Amino acid sequence: MRLYPSLIIIDKHPFFWRLAIFGILFFGLTVMHAPAQSQLKRSRAQLEKEKADIQKRLREFDTILKQTTAQKSNTLGELKAVNQKLDARIKYIGTLNREVLLINREISSTEKSINALEKDLENLKQEYAAMIYTSYKLNQGVNVLVFVFSSSTFKQFYLRMRYLKQYADERKKQVAQMEKVTEELSAERSLLEGKRLEKERILAQERTEKEQLDRLKSEQQGLVSNLTKKEQELRNEIAAAKKQQENLNRLIKSVIEEEIRLAEAESKKSGSRTTTTSASKVPLTPEGAAISTSFAGNRGKIPWPVESGFISKRYGTYPHPTLKGITETNDGVDIQTNRDEPVRSVFDGVVTKITTVPGMGGTVIIRHGDFYTMYSRLKTVSVKSGQQVKTKSIIGTVNTDKNGVSELHFQTWKGLEVMDPSIWLSKK
C-alpha cells in the first residue's frame, strides 16, 4: 500500500525527533534564563533598600536644617547640615545611575529572551508546516477510514489506530506549544516596554536630582563665603571649644581615677577578688568583667545615643571647614540632631556622674565595666547617680544653642584611654 505502509514511519519521521530536541532546548533556555533573572531581582531589591535608606536620611537632614536655620542663618551648624545633605544627594544620584545600569541589563536580558522565543516560535511553525505537508502527502487520494478498515489483520488495525492517535496527539501538542510560546513572547514584549518606560522615569528623576544638587552646591558656597567673613567670631568659638574639651577630659579622668581608688580600697578592705586589664587598670567585679566583655564584643554594633542625626564633628584632629590654616581637635564626636531629641544610654551600665560643665551644659557619665561613655550638652537630665540603666534608656534631652543648633557631644573611654566613638557605633 502506498499510504502509511507501516508503523515504522513513526520512528523514522523526523518531526518526532525534532520535537523532542526542541523540548530539550526550550527547557535548557528556561533553566539558564532563571538564575540570571533571580540575580537581577536580588540586585534590584538591594538597590531599592539603599535608595530608601538614603531618602530617609535626606528627610532627617531636611528637618535638622530647617530647625537650624529657623533661629539664625549662616552658622557652622547650617553648613554642616548642608554638607551632609549634599553628600547624601550625591549618593542618591549614584544609586539612580546604578538603577539605570541595572535596567539596561534587564532590558538586554529581556531582548535576548524575546529573540530566543521568536526563534523557537519560528521553528515550531516550520515543524508544524512540515508535519501538515507530510500528512497531506501520505494521505493523498486515500480516505483515513479506508486506510484503517483495509487492515489485513486485527494487529495491523490496532497499530494503524494507535498511529493515528499518536499523530493527532502530537499535532495537538505542537499547537499547544506554539500557543504557549506566543503567550510568553507577548508577556516578554510587555515587560520590555515597561522597563523602557521605567528607564525614562529614572532618567527624568536623575535630571531633577542633579538640578537640586547644583542648587545645594551654590548654597554651600554662599555659606562658606559668609562664614569666612566671620573669622574672628569663629576663632573665638574654636578657643572656647578647646577649653570646654579640656574641662571635660579633666572631669572624666578624675571620675575614673576616683573609681579606681575606691574600688582598690574596697577590695583590700573586704578581701574580695577583682580583676583588671592592663589597658584600663580599672578593678572589676565578675559582673563588671562580663559587661566589659559584652561591650567590647559589640564593637560597631552599639546603637547611637540619639535616634536621628549625623556626626557633625568627628573624632581626632582635622582642618577647620572654613578657616585656612586652623585645625580642630575632638576627643569624641558631636552629633547634630533635632530640637529636644531624647538622649539614650548606648549600653547597659551604671550612672557614675551627673554634673554641669561650663559651655557644655548637663553632662552624664555612665560606666560599662571598664568602659565609660559621656554625654554632654544636655538640656535636661532624667537619671540619678548610681542608677542602673539599660541599652537605649532615656537619660535626658539634647540642648539647643543660641544659633539654633541641637548638638550632642559623645565620648567613649576604656579606663583612662579615650577612644574614637565612631568605631563602636552602628552604621547608619
> How far, rounded to the nearest angstrom, does the alpha carbon of residue 197 sit from its chain's CA centroid?
25
**Residue 302 CA: distances (Å) to CA of 151, 316, 392:** 88, 20, 10
Confidence bin at 307 (pLDDT 50/70/90)? very high
pLDDT at 153: 78
Which is more confidently placed, 73 or 290?
A: 290
Report how far residue 87's alpha carbon sits from residue 79's, in angstroms, rounded to the nearest whole number: 12
Which ranges of 271-304 does DSSP label H, i.e. alpha helix? 286-297
Q: Provide the whole-model pTM.
A: 0.59
Confidence bin at 354 (pLDDT 50/70/90)? very high
- Grid-cell match 586589664, residue found: 277
Q: What is the mean pLDDT of residues 78-92?
A: 85
pLDDT at 4 over 60: no
Name, in order, each residue with C-beta under 8 angstroms of 33's C-beta and a sequence gap of 6 or more: 109, 113
Which is more confidently placed, 120 or 106?
A: 106
Confidence bin at 139 (pLDDT 50/70/90)? low
pLDDT tens digit string along 271-280?
555 555 545 5
Where is mean pLDDT largest: 229-233, 286-290, 312-316?
Answer: 312-316
138: its cell numbers: 501520505
Name, in order, each residue with C-beta under 8 angstroms of 218's C-beta and a sequence gap of 6 or more: none
Q: Which of 317, 321, 309, 310 is nearest to 223 (CA)?
A: 321
pLDDT at 206 over 60: yes
pLDDT at 30: 52
* Mean pLDDT rounded to a whole number for the chain: 78
Q: What is the mean pLDDT of residues 295-320?
A: 92
Q: Which of 413, 202, 211, 204 is nearest to 315 (CA)?
A: 413
Backbone angles phi, psi at 29, to 5 degrees: -65, -40
Confidence bin at 372 (pLDDT 50/70/90)? very high
Report how far residue 109's alpha carbon sits from residue 123's, in angstroms, rounded to the nearest whole number: 21
